Amino acid sequence: MLAVLLGGALLATTACTAAGQGPQEAPASGSASSGELNVFAAASLNGVLTDLTADFEDDHPDVTVRLNFAGSSDLATQILSGAPADVFASANPENMDKVTAPGMAAGEPVTFATNVLQIVVPEGNPYGIASLADLADQQVKTVICAPQVPCGAATQKVSQEAGIKIPAVSEESSVTDVLGKVMSGEADAGLVYVTDVKNVQGDVEGIDFAEAGAAVNDYPIARLAESANPDAAEAFVALVTGPEGRKALADYGFGTP
């Protein structure tokens, strides 16, 4: 009788394990192999992170990556307001600091890329712009980023370095908005990152200027402490900061930290 009872208990345990309900069979919560991953990233990272996301999802077919691109200041505000983000990639340390200061980042952010500004003009450069000083001309309709956005803060630095004031017709909330206005013909010139111009060659032209080195933007990335999928978040950060990520960033024109 005892043998029968023991045998029944063994069969019950085996059945439970086979059904995936035993402790060693339970899937790890937040595993990099499954679930959703919300990545909040600076607008200037759109192209390269879209490409890297495709590679990431190939390696982790059960993970769905949701990319949210916007100005870094807007993204920081969203995160501080409780938006469900797992990874934050900012176009400058200042906006990352807004998130790390209250302890919302897991560990120290990693700087993974750099970027500098370039003047963007329509193809053919109809106003013959050759330097940053040319943007001080009231006849040139120039668009720039708002000061709270990383590209706007960089614009202020290079303008101070050149000793000029740019009479901008509008201040945009992201670098892609500036680029869009130049591409659509709404503006004669704008200040964007060299990577943005590189990604749309043929539609616009980029003009280097001497003062660009006064405002080199560092790009930090971090997993967020309240991530619902920490393993996938760590894997994504590792991809961006690792050899494959560095190569992709270089292909898109980003510099090395």
What are the pLDDT digits (tens) for 35-57? 999 999 999 999 999 999 999 99
Dihedral, CA atoms, 82, 192, 152, 182, nearest 10 degrees? -100
99 has pLDDT over 50: yes
167 has pLDDT over 60: yes
String of DSSP letters for 3-57: HHHHHHHHHHHHHHHHTT-STTTSPPTT-TTSEEEEEEEEGGGHHHHHHHHHHHH
Where does the pLDDT of residue 200 fall: very low under 50, low under 70, confident under 90, or very high at 90 and above? confident
Phi-psi region of 10 (alpha: psi -120 to 50; beta: other; left: phi over 0): alpha
For residue 192 the two structure tokens come to 């964007």
Question: What average pLDDT score do residues 168-182 get?
Answer: 96
Q: Looking at 26-40, 128-142, 168-182, 222-236, which range is the least confident one? A: 26-40
Between 20 and 91, whose confidence is greater? 91
Name the nearest CA neighbour of 165 among 187, 185, 137.
137
For residue 77 the two structure tokens come to 């505000």
In the chain, % of residues over pLDDT 70: 87
Sheet holding 170-172, edge to edge: 170-172, 142-145, 189-193, 117-122, 204-207
pLDDT confidence of residue 202? 75
The per-residue pLDDT of the chain, averaged, comes to 89
In angstroms, the CA 74 to CA 97 distance is: 13
15 has pLDDT over 70: no
This prediction has a pTM of 0.83
pLDDT confidence of residue 33? 61
How many other C-beta atoms can be found within 10 angstroms of the C-beta atom of residue 124? 9
Between 24 and 109, whose confidence is greater? 109
- Let me know: does 66 contact 60? Beta carbons within 8 Å: no
Question: What average pLDDT score do residues 82-111 get?
Answer: 97
16 has pLDDT over 80: no
What are the pLDDT digits (tens) for 104-147? 999 999 999 999 999 999 999 999 999 999 999 999 999 999 99
Dihedral, CA atoms, 80, 54, 218, 207, nearest 10 degrees? -120
